[in-house]
Structure 1
Amino acid sequence: MTHIPVSVIVAAGGSADDFHACLLSLRASLGLRDEVVCVLPSDRADLRAELRGEQWLKVIESPAGAGAAERWAAGVDATRHPIIILVDGDVVLSAHWLDPVLEPFGDPSVVATGPRCHNSFGPQQAELPKEAMASAAAFKAFARQWRQDHRGEFSDVDRLGPVCVAIRRDALAIAGGPTADLPWDGLAVQGRVTVAHAALVAHVASTDCGLRGEFTDEPGAPLISAALIVKDEADVLARSLDALRDLVDEIVVYDTGSTDDTVAIARAHGARVVEGYWNEHFGDARNRCLEHCRGTWALWVDADEIFTGDAKAVRAAVAAGGDARAFFVTIDNQEGHEGGSGHSTIYFPRLFRRSPSRLYGRLHEQVVDRVTGTAMVGPQLTTAVLTHVGYTALRRTVKSKAERNLRLAELAAEDVSGITAIGNLARAQIGSGHIEEAIETSRRGLEQAKENSHRVLFLKILADAYLALKRLTEANETIEELRRIASTAFTVDEHEVKLRFAEGDYERALEIVAALPESGMNDLLYGVGKGRFAGLHIDALSRLDRNQEAAEQLRRSLREGRVPVPVARMAQVLGAADGSLAEVAELLPREGVRGLLFGIAEAPPEAADELLEALWRRYPGEPTVLTVAARVGRLVPLIRAMEWSARLRQHGFAERCTLLALSGNSRRTPRERTLAAAIALEMFHDEAALPLLNEALAAVPDDQSAPVLEEMRVLAPKVSDSIELADA
């Protein structure tokens, strides 16, 4: 095929042999009208030797230490064709790779295209088997078959990697010119970015890769930067930042558009705040945050996570990190209804070397090498623990996390094809209650899955989906299929225990829980242990009328700082064993109270009030208890609303007065609303109660006016006298 003339810019790099292979494969694929400029670092005499006698290209020299952006810019300035192709110097190109890459440019809406690429960041990435990279001949044969299998396939994506791309010159200029990662945001707003699947190139990605030169630590850089992206996190941010004080050298908070006090709280706690924007993409937002960090290492923290590890031990391990590029951190998720109903643990590379890393993915983003796109991995740092309260049911509802995640997963599936996008979509669907859709997506994922870990993921999602729909036969079949491929027994047991409970086989469910380790990792690196099923354990014992054992299991969990069942269920379990909710306040350590309070407002008002009263006696003056009591107070009996109102006002929270909240609550009776407003006016002389009182009085039925007024004479005599005088 005859293609339009192009300008190829090669950033010389890699070993001398790799560079020689790149030039050899490039020359064979070019046309007579194409031009090639090679940008040569001044300190690479070994690569200069490979360019002797190569009259088909022009060589320009870049200053020592010049970054990728400067090298690309120099090459652009030295060329003239409308289509520019940027190629890293250790890329091996396959035969006829250029034709499918240039084909989309027949459409004027296309601004950039790239081939599939081994060892490249982003949606271009192609995982090649080892045998395909064994020799030049093996790669040539593999690429030929690849081209036949993917002929005519193109996908629109949101970005490409920095290794091998074709871009319209004018679009690149409008986007501001080349950058280290290339300005994909600026290019994407101008038109379409595509991947040509039939074109395949291989990136050697050695340590001498020319794209790596600028990704080094600054002299004198601090050791650890904490990086947070936030929006409307005023209820949790302060505690998260406080917990980081002894661990990190700087905190960078990237705000994506808060409307509450988040920014002020961050600044008050010493964070450097960047007031940014949100573009429906977690990876992009986190990368924008990392651009403002200076540390050699970056710790990715969410606003609803609390560092609970050993700061000195973590810093010592990081300082002695050697060749490590990342550390796995323990993330303890306090998930479930009302701050409980079980918890889970995952292990994730949240602590990583900043300069060679970036976050990739619109949702469930991953830490990857910014050039090759390979996952940043390393040893587990047991002293680094983040306690995450963001998965509690109430907080998920308030933050609309399920709906947001589903929307982002759907957008991600449009951005990038592949098994990861399908997996994220299935997880988001089941998390947002779209169970049937999750089943369909998981089945599609199983059809495409080639790696065992992907098959495990989709079978686990399927098992949970069938259990959610009470389709127990299909759940059992899926669990048995999972058993055949899982490498650890508890990868399966965590689903079987839920199946046996759903079947009513509580004895078998208890046996499975008893056999689980105290802690361990399943095939997907999620923590599995007895503690995760504490709520189910308690319920199974209770259903077998083993009430004392159920209560003792609950007490054990509370002592460990975990709230495994909802407040109403705790009241039942403890009550059946001659206990009470007051025990919860005594048993739960202070650090566990916050997780309980996040969801306590969803409990029945009587139970919530009883537990809040016990917590108040244990922790008098605790602001978080008052904050929750303000929400619950509008639902409790009038006398209790009076008590909470007095406490709130005494501690400076008059604007959250429970009497005023009750009097404005249309779900309460006109009598209750009238008395609440009258008491607030009588006791606290709060003029805000007056319009509420008038509104409530107008709603009192005529046949109840006299009894209501009589009660008012007792509870608010001065207010009742003024009403009688007005009537007179």
Structure 2
Amino acid sequence: MSHIPVSVIIAAGGSPDDFHACLESLRSTLGLRDEVVCVMPADRPELRAELRGQTWLRVVDATGPLPWADGLNATRHPIVVFLDGDVVLSAHWLDPVLEAFGDPSVVAAGPRVQHSYGPQQADPPEAAMESAAAFKAYAREWRQEHRGEFLDVDRLGPVCVAIRRDALMIAGGPSLDLPYDELSAQGRIVVAHAALVAHVGSPACGLRQPDPPADAPLLTASLIVKDEEDVLARCLVALRELADEIVVYDTGSTDRSVEIAREHGAKVVEGYWSDHFGDARSRCLQHCSGRWALWVDADEVFAGDARIVRDALRYSENSAFFATIDNREGHEGGAGSSTIYFPRMFRRVRGRIYGRLHEQVVDRITGRSLNGSLLPDLVLDHSGYTRLRGSLKNKAERNLRLATLAAEDVSGLTAVGNLARSQLGSGHYDECIETARRGLEEAQEHTHKVLFLKILADAYITVGRLAEANEIVEDLRKVANTAFTVGEHEVKLRFAEGDYERTLEIIADLPESGANDLLYGVGKGRFAGLQVDALSRLDRPQEAAYHLRRWLKEGQVPIPVARMAQVLGAADGSLAEVAELLPPQNVRGLLFSIAEAPPEAADELLEALWRRYPGEATVLTLAARVGRRVPLIRAMEWSARLRQHGFPDQCTLLALSADHRRTPRERTLAAAIALEMFHDETALPLLNDALTDVPDDLSAGVLEEIRILAPRVSASIELADA
């Protein structure tokens, strides 16, 4: 071979046959000046036997869990190739990889690799993997088809990669996953598409780390956060009995998130954000020590049985467990809820969290999904999809930006699907339809076809193109395997068409619970809001109120607060019923819905909740948010309650007086009352500011009101004027 000389470091691993195949396929691709070092673990004598007579390579003993470091010290060439010991290499695979280094700005390059993760990942057809001859023939055609193709990426995988030695040393040397962040700061990282490598990825591969010792913590809860002070405390409190260790990786909060995490005993890592959820979560995992890891979001609350979950972890041989994630969705929590089943609990050293957006747990080496089963008591209550939380976090636009970047990072229909979903969620409907149509044309797998049809159905319904939505729903009916997959769209479509009787019939025919073709849990409760609204529009108020009360008893908040007032009022009820009907454990979900409700309705419901749960901190927190919008007399009452229970900084009078959406008269009176009633000096600059904004023709009347409501403040004002 006539390429620049390289140092190849092999991490011995796999079965003896796999290791033998790796060595045989490598030897014929080497140049005369290339050097090869094989790092041999002490506990694999059967692999050492495969090296007898292999004089073309050197063997060094592994001294720790990182074979790359041992091998690097025994080599000398400027380009170093790291190679897992259970790969099969195609002819000339090294030439395109080394061709990339003809550009001095390239610091790392790698081939396409079967059973890897990220941009290197390749999926040869089954026929190509039936024999060594079939793979060689396929790889030869692949090389011809992709000759000269290079793609800039932000990282490569751990299985097969070439790196400039000097750049690697500047980056701090080899690490468990190789220091791609530090390498990318020095130059380009590229994939050489013409090179193709097959990877067995067996449990015995040389890159796998040993399980932590038996005396290590059983479970670590891992969170990444940024400006989550409104939800973080509830999340951490719920994790206390479940996790032995909580690690919070902060990506740049400007609120009290870091302080709250420390106050609740979490180990806090003050990190950074790189527009990549998977990377941030993986950096967090580096600080975890548990045998198992649970990935949690700050707006999720563990709602299962901690004892049962921990017992399952102690005795299971699984690599991962699926959690039940109950999502609250929509405006004011009023569009129902959905459930997804997702692998969130996994053996820490076996998994990684991968993906810029809609990240997932995968095998740390191969990128394949970890095997696992549903753990029924691993339940997370997620409020992040409510429109209130979405607006606070600006999730839709952020997700669109990350999905666009992810589609550039990694080819494949999963990235295209995530982009279409993000376009839909952020209101870019025309772009969503175009993306989903393109994905549908390319889709071969059942799940991809279902995904793009579902996205198109939602997009067409949202923009009112109902004829096209009907066509898509019929196409979906032809490929769907479950009633839910079609039913969830047909319900919304018939409601949009104004066919409320048919809407109710479809809801009645759906099972109480189940999963659609994409393994999202969907039940009648998903359509509780549409059911109540359909009955109301059919002028059946008693039935509408009956079903609303039934859903509330079951813990659902199916429609906005203002609509609940209308529905209950039409049946001779009131919002006060909501506080009585909703189970205590579901009150938190209701509280998320109050903040966007009209002030009168929000205040009425908060008052009912206060009577039922006096002194409850979550009620007071919502009162602080709503208080600046309520009438002045009610702001006074909530201010007194907040101060009495230790929340002076949340005083609704101060919030009202600082809110320039309120009239200068209201702001002035609020600040004066806060100063009079509570002697709070922070109200003084607010009072001065508000007084300045009072029009001259109203100032006499405002001062007279201050004399009545805040006589001492009034006297001070008059003295100052004199």
- Smaller-chain TM-score bracket: over 0.9
1:569-648 mapped onto 2 (5 Å cutoff): 569-648=563-642
8 Å contact kept, 1:364–1:424: yes
Report the CA distance between 1:723 and its aligned residue.
Answer: 4.6
Q: Which residue pairs with 2:239 in the alignment?
A: 244
- Cα distance in 1 for partners of 2:720, 2:15 equals 95
Report the CA distance between 1:7 and its aligned residue.
Answer: 2.0
What is the SS of the residue equivalent to 2:552?
Answer: helix
8 Å contact kept, 1:342–1:565: yes
What is the SS of the residue equivalent to 1:667?
Answer: coil
Report the CA distance between 1:166 and its aligned residue.
Answer: 1.3
When the two structures are aligned, how many residues end up with a matched partner? 722
Q: Which residue pairs with 2:74 in the alignment?
A: 78
The TM-score with structure 1 as length reference comes to: 0.95
Decide which of 187, 197, 216 is 2:211's aligned counterpart.
216
The TM-score with structure 2 as length reference comes to: 0.96
Q: Which residue pairs with 2:52 in the alignment?
A: 52
Query: Which string of whole-angstrom CA distances, capped at 9 and with x for unpartnered residues, describes residues 531-565 of structure 1?
Result: 11111111111111111111111111111222111
1:544 aligns with 2:538: yes
Aligned AA (1:451): E
1:66 aligns with 2:60: no
8 Å contact kept, 2:249–2:284: yes
Aligned AA (1:501): F
8 Å contact kept, 1:340–1:596: no
Report the CA distance between 1:32 and its aligned residue.
Answer: 2.5
- Cα distance in 2 for partners of 1:546, 1:189 equals 65
- Cα distance in 1 for partners of 2:82, 2:686 equals 69
Q: Which residue pairs with 1:317 in the alignment?
A: 312
- Cα distance in 2 for partners of 1:724, 1:321 equals 76
Q: Which residue pairs with 1:95 in the alignment?
A: 91
Q: Which residue pairs with 2:133 in the alignment?
A: 137
Aligned AA (1:293): C
- Cα distance in 2 for partners of 1:12, 1:719 equals 82
Say if 1:66 and 1:708 are closer, same or farther in 2 by CA, change over 3 A: closer
- Cα distance in 2 for partners of 1:219, 1:259 equals 39
Structure 2 runs not aligned, ≥5 long: none
What is the SS of the residue equivalent to 1:412?
Answer: helix
1:465 aligns with 2:459: yes
Decide which of 239, 264, 273 is 1:269's aligned counterpart.
264
Report the CA distance between 1:621 and its aligned residue.
Answer: 1.4
Q: Which residue pairs with 1:39 in the alignment?
A: 39
Aligned AA (2:284): C
Report the CA distance between 1:581 and its aligned residue.
Answer: 0.7
- Cα distance in 2 for partners of 1:477, 1:622 equals 50
Q: Which residue pairs with 1:677 in the alignment?
A: 671
Say if 1:663 and 1:18 are closer, same or farther in 2 by CA, change over 3 A: closer
Q: Which residue pairs with 2:391 in the alignment?
A: 397
Q: Which residue pairs with 2:377 in the alignment?
A: 383
Say if 1:97 and 1:620 are closer, same or farther in 2 by CA, change over 3 A: same
Aligned AA (2:109): T
8 Å contact kept, 1:40–1:59: no
Q: Which residue pairs with 1:367 in the alignment?
A: 361
- Cα distance in 2 for partners of 1:673, 1:249 equals 48
Aligned AA (2:59): I
1:43-442 mapped onto 2 (5 Å cutoff): 43-55=43-55, 57-63=56-62, 66-67=64-65, 69=66, 71-212=67-208, 214-322=209-317, 324-442=318-436
Bigger drift between 504-513 and 480-489 goes to 480-489
8 Å contact kept, 2:37–2:60: no
- Cα distance in 1 for partners of 2:624, 2:217 equals 43
What is the SS of the residue equivalent to 2:372?
Answer: coil
Bigger drift between 267-276 and 465-474 goes to 267-276
- Cα distance in 2 for partners of 1:492, 1:624 equals 38
- Cα distance in 1 for partners of 2:270, 2:282 equals 14
- Cα distance in 2 for partners of 1:111, 1:672 equals 63
Aligned AA (2:379): V
Report the CA distance between 1:61 and its aligned residue.
Answer: 2.5
Aligned AA (1:20): H
1:566 aligns with 2:560: yes
Say if 1:704 and 1:289 are closer, same or farther in 2 by CA, change over 3 A: closer
Aligned AA (1:367): V
Aligned AA (1:340): G
Structure 1 runs not aligned, ≥5 long: none
- Cα distance in 1 for partners of 2:44, 2:224 equals 40
8 Å contact kept, 2:491–2:506: yes
8 Å contact kept, 1:42–1:61: no
8 Å contact kept, 1:226–1:251: yes
Query: Which string of whole-angstrom CA distances, capped at 9 and with x for unpartnered residues, describes residues 160-184 of structure 1?
Result: 1111111112111211222222111
Aligned AA (2:528): A
Say if 1:125 and 1:29 are closer, same or farther in 2 by CA, change over 3 A: same
1:666 aligns with 2:666: no
Report the CA distance between 1:698 and its aligned residue.
Answer: 4.1
- Cα distance in 1 for partners of 2:202, 2:679 equals 76
What is the SS of the residue equivalent to 1:652?
Answer: coil
Aligned-residue RMSD, C-alpha: 2.0
Say if 1:146 and 1:681 are closer, same or farther in 2 by CA, change over 3 A: same
Aligned AA (1:554): L
Say if 1:399 and 1:274 are closer, same or farther in 2 by CA, change over 3 A: same
What is the SS of the residue equivalent to 2:122?
Answer: coil
Say if 1:354 and 1:701 are closer, same or farther in 2 by CA, change over 3 A: closer
1:435-454 mapped onto 2 (5 Å cutoff): 435-454=429-448
- Cα distance in 1 for partners of 2:238, 2:711 equals 50
8 Å contact kept, 1:328–1:379: yes
- Cα distance in 1 for partners of 2:180, 2:702 equals 68
- Cα distance in 2 for partners of 1:686, 1:179 equals 55
- Cα distance in 2 for partners of 1:8, 1:702 equals 84
Say if 1:74 and 1:407 are closer, same or farther in 2 by CA, change over 3 A: same
- Cα distance in 2 for partners of 1:176, 1:704 equals 69
Query: Which string of whole-angstrom CA distances, capped at 9 and with x for unpartnered residues, describes residues 240-295 of structure 1?
Result: 11212222222222222222222222222222222222222211111122122222
Q: Which residue pairs with 2:12 in the alignment?
A: 12
Report the CA distance between 1:315 and its aligned residue.
Answer: 1.5
